[in-house]
Amino acid sequence: MKPSLLLLACLGLLSTAFGKVETWTNTDGQTMEAEAISANAKYVSFRKADGSKFIYQMEKLSMADQERLKPLISTTTDQASPESAPAPAAKPAPAIAGKLTAEIAGKLVSLKGKSLTPVSRETVIGSKYYAIYFSAHWCPPCRGFTPELVAAYKDLKAKNPDFEVVFVSSDQSNDDMKTYMTEYKMPWPAVRFDASKSIPAVQKHRGNGIPHLVFVTSDGEVLSSSYVGDKYVGPQKVLKDIQKKLAGES
């Protein structure tokens, strides 16, 4: 077989393997249905059956799925050697859709071991919905609700990768915030402690008390809140609304 025909055959096989919606499993054993579009060593671009796209961290997929994606990485990575290929032109940063997404991108941290590390802007690109969680370690009702949210999040995130919880701490210090996230193993990102009061799209959703959960779109449109006017209805009601809304989209 001629080299050109062999290449076309290989590409045809890859198209068959990755040109359809498949089941993917993350490191927690949760599954999601999506088509793998492109990939590199750190991120995978997926497309859901409804056409919406999202980016997922490669390291959060199971080892078996990471192996499955290796052929896709090789087809979306420039194979030319540095000596023979000209330096690629710098590519503009991906556009970030949504006012809220644009304001929090680059201002998030996540728990890695017992340290808080910066979250890349790419992590939130493609997010369609957010649950903004105002909470603190010193607040007993917060400590009562957080385990419930952690448990629900794992299932919600696996089935709806374009959904994200963002923690906004009301603790007294960054160390207190880190202690809270570590103790309850929060799997979601948090707004940096020193940045939470300088983000208008976050500040506008603060209520009069905590725990306070707000379900919003990437543009900041409120879909459900712990506060209905001046009445406090609690975060459990919002969590149920989130589960109902996302169940209709997954």
Residue 24: pLDDT band with limits 50, 70, 90: confident
How far apart, in whole angstroms, are the C-alpha atoms of residue 130 and residue 114?
25
For residue 142, which of 201, 192, 213, 199 has the smallest C-alpha distance? 213
How far apart, in whole angstroms, are the C-alpha atoms of residue 31 and residue 34?
10
Q: What is the pLDDT of residues 119-171, one digit of tens each?
A: 988 887 778 999 999 999 999 999 999 999 999 999 999 999 999 999 999 99
**Half-sphere exposure at residue 55, Cβ-oriented, CA atoms within 13 angstroms:** 16
Q: Are 166 and 131 in contact (CB under 8 A)?
A: yes
73: helix, strand or coil = helix
Q: What is the pLDDT of residues 71-117, one digit of tens each?
A: 887 655 443 333 334 444 444 444 445 888 889 989 999 999 889 99
pTM of the model: 0.68
CATH 2.30.30.700 region(s) of the chain? Answer: 10-75
Q: Which residue has the higher pLDDT, 216 or 32?
A: 216
Structure tokens at 6: 């062999």
137 CA to centre of own chain: 23
How far apart, in whole angstroms, are the C-alpha atoms of residue 91 and residue 89?
6
| Whole-number average pLDDT of the chain | 82
Q: What is the pLDDT of residues 58-80, one digit of tens each?
A: 888 888 888 888 888 765 544 33
* Class in CATH terms, 10-75: mainly beta
Structure tokens at 156: 């919600």
What's the start-to-end Cα distance of the chain, in Å? 44
Q: Which residue has the higher pLDDT, 33 or 19?
A: 33
CATH 3.40.30.10 region(s) of the chain? Answer: 99-247
How far apart, in whole angstroms, are the C-alpha atoms of residue 155 and residue 158?
5
* 106: alpha, beta or left? (left if phi > 0; alpha if psi -120 to 50): left
**Architecture of the domain made up of 99-247:** 3-Layer(aba) Sandwich (3.40)
- Crossing angle of the two packed helices 235-247 and 140-159, in degrees rounded to 10: 0
| Predicted pLDDT of residue 6 | 41
How far apart, in whole angstroms, are the C-alpha atoms of residue 224 and residue 222?
6
